[in-house]
A and B are shown apart, each in its own frame.
Chain A
């Protein structure tokens, strides 16, 4: 009955959107007076040409997997969580507190502690807008965006006040103790003389992110809760008929979403910076929206889209380093990807459906 086979919907459409975004980006690069081919070459080499490049690409990807999953889970209950940024900031606060004030004997325990603290803090930060949505009907988009600013203000306050070590001039916490430092890819994959991933920030959190992908997949498609979340997302009136409580679903899905966004902090705060600095999230919460859109809210899609954005991020940094192309170019590319995969989805979909239909009809005639 569907106009298109599933693979076309899942693979072909994002791919075409991506090519369109890339084409327009190429035109912009041309307009700046640089060569798009050269630029692509640089990006690929910089992001994927060495284990060092990979180490950065995967580090960024880890952030985006967490925030992408966060937005996806909320999407399934038709909640648009734009607050990933703030939830990740507050998650970072949780990680900082637990790393600074709990004496951990070993990094593995500190990782578990970090995950829990990040998730709980992120979830709590999402819980307030969720409650306002469920009980007062305050629109989640508005409240989560406002909570981003509140989170930023909160961190500002704490990092120049209570959490700043005495005598420090920098708005940041002190260095976390040695035992909370997570093993980086360099620690894990370098044997003997050859140092792989030297100096790159990718760390064990990447594997936590992969586990999170599987967990979200199982949650959404294999559990009763996921069934209820999706049912509510498709039709609130039907969910009510079935006895699914809207309040419960909004609260739980938003808290899972916030928890996932918060968990990003084990990567950027505990794994990389090893202390909490201002603006640690660096917009990853917003990129999560693009990642979720492009990944069609499916964990596997999110994983692939996060890798892509990791590549764009790292490649973009390289571009800024070696050419006149500013780093903001990456923001342009992201915006184009969001535009094509989100807002202009139908522009690609409708003609493609027609092509498939025509193809089907011809096949039927031939048969």
Chain B
């Protein structure tokens, strides 16, 4: 090869206190390619990219940009070196227009007008060139996330970036928006831009990249040509052992209706109508999966069912209506009615991060008589219970006295699952069961959910991962803008159709 790599990292190491986030990482990314970096949460992907973008300083190692050794002490230096970054959480000023956001920080002079005029011309050129159409005068908060992401890309391009780093770019997109993004990336690549795509989704790597590097526990375990590998192989490289990507399950043995939701409406504190006239049911022995892009009312639906958001309408559990607004609309009353809840955000809701594992195992069930000892809590009983649950759910390390925050994402989720599933609930609400969970633990968590279904329990699954919905559900409902777009059976549908529904298009309308 005669051309110098667009980016070359040599021996990058970085540690945070006792944690070694990056160990002696070397990587070469050739210009005009899409290079994927895949790895589980905490594998060190984001740290590596933060070093490249000047947020962190590496403890050791060198960075070469187009063959030139380059020091990147801060993000200005990264931008000057032609690196642009699109963060997972967008860094946009919500009440500014697209144009103002693009210019922000890259103004030509003290006067705004000439900069804006120049930016407008350039934006137009970029839009034509790369299929990056955005209305320059739209206010950020009025446009969708897909658009907002395009603004982030435009920002980078406006700053003359030749190397574009995208961190988990599809997390908030519908499948159609994701496809559009990948088309844009293809166009950019054709124009000679270099793209680094960080993701934990195997499918995106397979579809979009030319080469892929796999990271595991801070180390780069392999760099291969995408055409010469398979999802199965990548998964093995990520986890370090053989994993099954398929969920094994037998046909559902469906019985009575456990959960019946009729005309549920939820309006949040700001007065936004989040859930609109939603009706559905879940029967014993089945998993109802609710698909949808995040922020389309699924979270509020779970919160009302879980008892900590108010709603109107009727919800019947086991033949009895539950209280949606009054004194019995709290988490404790829900648990007493046999509803267990694995919340979407385990760090904000499911766990107290500073509590020991054993304190978390009692969380929400701390009124249980078997945890009481007269006027005091029977901490010994809770600890004993925790030891058992940790063993059955293979929580590592199995130390009940460790704070929840000391466990990995997967093990935190196992603690929540152990607590909720072991209560033997009639209905399990489960939101984003595998968000931020490593592949090895995903397998285990999916098995547990299916096992609970096979015991004849009703399960309501909410997930933004379409693959997960398709793999686990016995029936699939799609939510868009607070409404139910319809139900499908997994064998009768595919990602394409569900993706259309997630974007608000029904088959009938689309035709």
Query: Which residue numbers of A lie inside 8 Å of B, CB to CB?
Result: 1-3, 218, 222-224, 227-228, 230-231, 234-235, 237-238, 240-245, 353, 357, 360-361
Pull 7 A–B residue pairs with CB atoms less than 8 Å apart, ordered by A. A218-B376, A231-B363, A234-B352, A238-B352, A241-B343, A244-B332, A245-B330
Q: Which of B146-154, B189-197, B333-341, B497-505 contacts A (4 or more CB under 8 A)?
A: B333-341
Q: Does B325 interact with chain A (Cβ within 8 Å)?
A: no
On whether the beta carbons of B331 and A223 are closer than 8 Å, the reply is no
A240 to B351, CA, bound (A): 11
Instruction: Report chain A residues within 8 Å CB of B308.
Output: 240-241, 243
- New A-B contacts (19) at CB < 8 Å, excluding given A243-B364, A361-B18: A1-B406, A3-B17, A222-B379, A223-B376, A227-B359, A230-B352, A237-B345, A237-B349, A238-B351, A238-B352, A241-B364, A242-B366, A243-B308, A243-B332, A243-B333, A243-B334, A243-B335, A244-B331, A245-B330
Task: Say yes or no: A360-B18 contact (C-beta < 8 A), given A1-B406, A231-B355, A237-B348.
Answer: yes
Q: Which residues, 138 to 160 on B, are CB-close (under 8 Å) to A?
A: none
Residues of the B chain whose Cβ atoms lie less than 8 Å from the Cβ of A1: 402-403, 406
A218 and B330 alpha carbons, distance in the complex (Å): 27
- A242 contact set on B, CB distance < 8 A: 331-332, 363-364, 366
Contacts of A361 on B, CB cut-off 8 Å?
18
* Cα distance A234–B367 in the bound complex, in angstroms: 19
B6 to chain A minimum Cβ distance, whole angstroms, is 36
Interface string of B1-34 (1 = CB under 8 A from A): 0000000000000000110000000000000000
Residue of B nearest to A360 (CB): B18
Q: Is B247 an interface residue (CB 8 A)?
A: no
B272 in contact (CB, < 8 A): no
Q: How many Å lie between the Cα of A158 and that of B152 in the bound state?
A: 65
B residues bordering A, Cβ < 8 Å? 17-18, 306-308, 330-335, 341, 343, 345, 348-355, 359, 362-364, 366-367, 372, 375-377, 379, 402-403, 406
Give min CB distance, A270 to chain B, whole Å.
29
Minimum CB–CB distance for A172 against chain B, Å: 41
A357 to B341, CA, bound (A): 39
Given contacts A241-B349, A242-B332, A360-B18, contact A234 B364 (CB under 8 A): no
Q: A-B contact count, CB below 8 Å?
A: 77
For B334, the closest partner residue in chain A by CB is A243
* A1-B406, A224-B367 given; A243·B330 CB < 8 A: yes
Query: Which chain A residue shows the least CB distance to B307?
Result: A243
Q: Contact partner of A234 among B17, B343, B355, B362, CB < 8 A?
A: B355
Rounded to whole angstroms, the CA-CA distance of A360 and B349 in the bound complex is 34
A189 to B497, CA, bound (A): 87
Residues of chain A within 8 A (CB-CB) of B348 are: 235, 237-238
Q: Of the candidates B330, B352, B376, B406, which one forms a contact with A235 in the assembled complex, judged by CB atoms under 8 Å apart? A: B352
Report the separation of the CA atoms of residues A98 and B65 in the bound assembly, to the nearest whole angstrom.
Answer: 81
Within the assembled complex, what's the spacing in Å between the Cα atoms of A230 and B352? 10
Cα–Cα, bound, A337→B275 (Å): 52
Q: Are A238 and B366 in contact (CB under 8 A)?
A: no
Minimum C-beta distance from A193 to chain B (A):
47
CB atoms of B354 and A234 under 8 A apart: yes
Residue of A nearest to B327 (CB): A245
Nearest Cβ on chain B to A297's Cβ, whole angstroms: 13
B381 CB to nearest A CB, Å: 13
4 nearest A-B pairs in the assembled complex, by CB-CB distance: A243-B331, A243-B332, A242-B364, A241-B349
- Please state if A227 and B366 are interface contacts (CB–CB under 8 Å): yes
Closest to B18 in A: A357
CB distance from B364 to the nearest CB of A (A): 4
Q: Is the CB of A3 within 8 A of B18?
A: yes
Distance between A223 CB and nearest chain B CB, rounded to angstroms:
6
- Nearest-neighbor residue (CB-CB) of B364 within chain A: A242
B333 cross-chain contacts in A, Cβ below 8 A = 243
Taking the nearest CB of chain A, how far is it from the CB of B330, in angstroms? 4
A360 to B333, CA, bound (A): 47
Beta-carbon nearest neighbor of B403 in chain A: A1
Contact indicator B377/A357 (Cβ below 8 Å):
no
Contact A238 B350 (CB under 8 A): yes
Q: Please give, as numbers and ranges, the residues of chain B lying within 8 Å of A243 by CB-CB distance.
A: 307-308, 330-335, 364
Q: Is the CB of A222 within 8 A of B376?
A: yes
Closest CB in chain A relative to B128 CB, distance in Å: 45
Contact (Cβ within 8 A) A234 B353? yes
Task: Give the nearest-CB partner of A218 in chain B.
Answer: B376
Known: A241-B306, A243-B334, A353-B17. A228 touches B366 (CB 8 A): yes
Docked CA distance A234–B405 (Å): 12
B306: which A residues are within 8 A, CB to CB? 241
| A231–B352 touching, CB < 8 Å | yes
CA distance A66 to B453 in the complex (A): 54
Interchain CA distance A241-B363 in the complex, whole Å: 10
Q: Which residues of A contact B375 (CB under 8 A)?
A: 223
| B residues in contact with A234, CB < 8 Å | 352-355
Tell me the complex Cα distance, A244–B330, Å.
Answer: 8
Residue with the highest number of chain B CB atoms closer than 10 Å, among A237, A241, A244, A357: A241
Instruction: Report the bound CA distance from A26 to B349 in whole Å.
Output: 48
Q: Roughly how many angstroms separate A222 CA and B379 CA in the complex, as a whole number? A: 8
Which chain B residues border A244 with CB–CB below 8 Å? Answer: 331-332
Interchain CA distance A242-B348 in the complex, whole Å:
11
- A360 to B17 alpha-carbon distance, docked (Å): 11
Residue among A235, A240, A242, A243 with the most chain B CB within 10 A? A242
Given contacts A224-B366, A227-B366, A228-B366, whether A241 and B350 have CB atoms under 8 Å apart is yes
- Contact partners of B354 in chain A: CB under 8 A: 234
In angstroms, Cα B67 to Cα A82, docked, is: 61
Min distance, Cβ B131 to any Cβ of chain A, angstroms: 40
> Which residues of chain B are near A227, meaning CB under 8 Å?
359, 362, 366, 377
Listed residue (B17, B308, B332) with the most chain A CB atoms within 10 angstroms of its CB = B308
Give the shortest distance, in Å, between A136 (CB) and chain B (any CB): 14
Query: B residues within 8 A CB of A218?
Result: 376
List A contacts of B359 (CB < 8 A).
Answer: 227
Closest B residue by C-beta to A236: B348
